[in-house]
Structure 1
Amino acid sequence: MIKHIFFDLDHTIWDFDKNAQETLTELYHHYQLGAIGLNSCDAFIERYTENNQLLWAEYHMGRITKDTLRAQRFHKTFIELGIAPDLVPHQFEEDYVQFSPKKTNLFEGSEKVLAYLQKKYTLHIISNGFKETTLTKMDRCNLNPYFQNVIISEDVGVNKPDKAIFEHALRKAGAEKHESIMIGDSIEADIRGAQDFGIKAIFFNPLNKEKPADVQWQILHLEELMLHF
């Protein structure tokens, strides 16, 4: 019955963590952060990742704005790691936003799976990512030919898990609930958001985290989709 497959982008197709790590390592050396007291690049990346994930969770739920997320994630990280406010490199966020979306690391098997699915289904993206970075990622990774629609929360005015973004996506795709499925890594935004709206969902769980009881279907590798579709 499935005709339309909706994918999340970050952490599902585009390997956010790997691309972020590459970018942050480059910026760590460019800004010579060791000289201001950040002696471990790995510790810096680890603390940033924790803060970024917490802030994105707040953004998904509509509790903070895009500007707040961007203003806080690096500033909070530097301060927590003991860097005096006057030593925080204020251009760091802008440089990260400029360079990170141009990275092209995808999850293993992404292009193979998308090429396979595209022959049988109509594919779409639903992303809570920021518009300019999402479009850059899609372009740099040559992902646009696989997808009929790229639905971005900034354009719609609401984020996943809000039912309105799923309703908008199905309307734009000309799809019905019973013939649609969502694939993503976020339990709250992608899986519960889709399920609450009334469409099936597949949890992409490459780190093999514990699966909540209300999540019915998970995959650990994207190529598993070729066994199910």
Structure 2
Amino acid sequence: MKYDWILFDADETLFHFDALKGMQLMFSRKGIDFTEQDFAHYQTVNKPLWVDYQNGDITAADLKHIRFKQWAEKLNTTTSELNSAFLDAMAEICTLLPGAKELMDAINGQAKMGIITNGFVDLQAIRLERTGMTDYFDHVIISEEVGIAKPDVGIFHHALDKMGMPCKTRVLMVGDNPHSDILGGINVGIDTCWLNVDNHPQIDGISPSYTVTSLNELQSILIA
């Protein structure tokens, strides 16, 4: 194989992240019918926060607090309680993307694997365990722990250090987000693969080494 290390993003690269379904499950447990309209309103707050987080303008703690502030006030609870309940629900409904398990099995023994995610600590271990994926990964690098989020090269340098500073030409970053995953990988000097399931147009100035529309397609490139 061309690579000694394959690094993966987590959400929408290995795992489905159906936030609406997770919110509906969480709120149903509180006796609330959480509608698509409620979700749309939540996303007007949540989405810009993730951009700020990736840009290093706010911390993971800020993001967790602000996104649930209105609901915490409405339900007379804490943002911390709502975050925990949401992540519990997301862990419960977690499923793998098509081809993820097959890809892991194909790469296992051929190259080492790691995860670099901007997601939160609470969700990662339980999700890997529930999907039977824990043993495939040598390292799981989580922005909340490191204190730096993708695309900042700092989190990639942290990962490379943990990996024993492998030759960068032998490392591939795979992810669905052109800004955090692909640009981050390019900036640190490693090859990148954009998982572009919905065939979005390529973004000017961001040129991945590979673009695939499925994990099966990536498998056929890697195990050629």
TM-score band by shorter chain is 0.7 to 0.9
Shift of 1:112: 0.9
**8 Å CA contact 1:103, 1:137 repeated in 2:** no
Aligned partners of 1:45, 1:139: CA distance in 2, in Å? 28
Distance 1:124 1:21, change over 3 A: same
Aligned partner letter, 1:109: G
Gaps of 5+ in 1: 35-39, 79-84
**8 Å CA contact 2:156, 2:185 repeated in 1:** yes
In the alignment of these two chains, the number of paired residues is: 215
Aligned partners of 1:153, 1:130: CA distance in 2, in Å? 7
Give percent identity, aligned residues only: 28
Alignment of 1:113-152 (within 5 A): 113-152=103-142
The residue that corresponds to 2:51 in the other structure is 57
The residue that corresponds to 2:175 in the other structure is 184
Aligned partners of 1:142, 1:71: CA distance in 2, in Å? 31
TM-score, normalised by the number of residues in structure 1: 0.84
Matched, 1:87 2:74: yes
The residue that corresponds to 1:11 in the other structure is 12
The residue that corresponds to 2:92 in the other structure is 102
The residue that corresponds to 1:30 in the other structure is 29
Matched, 1:156 2:146: yes
Aligned partner letter, 1:138: L
Aligned partner letter, 1:140: R
**8 Å CA contact 2:26, 2:89 repeated in 1:** no
Please say which of residues 130-139 and 2-11 is displaced more in the overlay: 130-139
Aligned partners of 1:33, 1:75: CA distance in 2, in Å? 17
Aligned partner letter, 1:121: A
Gaps of 5+ in 2: none
The residue that corresponds to 1:37 in the other structure is none
The CA deviation string for residues 131-189 of structure 1, in whole angstroms up to 9 with x for no partner, is: 22222222222211111111222333322112122122122223211100100122221
**8 Å CA contact 1:102, 1:136 repeated in 2:** no
The CA deviation string for residues 66-120 of structure 1, in whole angstroms up to 9 with x for no partner, is: 22211222335x5xxxxxx853453433311232223331111111111112232
The residue that corresponds to 2:215 in the other structure is 222
Aligned partners of 1:50, 1:210: CA distance in 2, in Å? 24
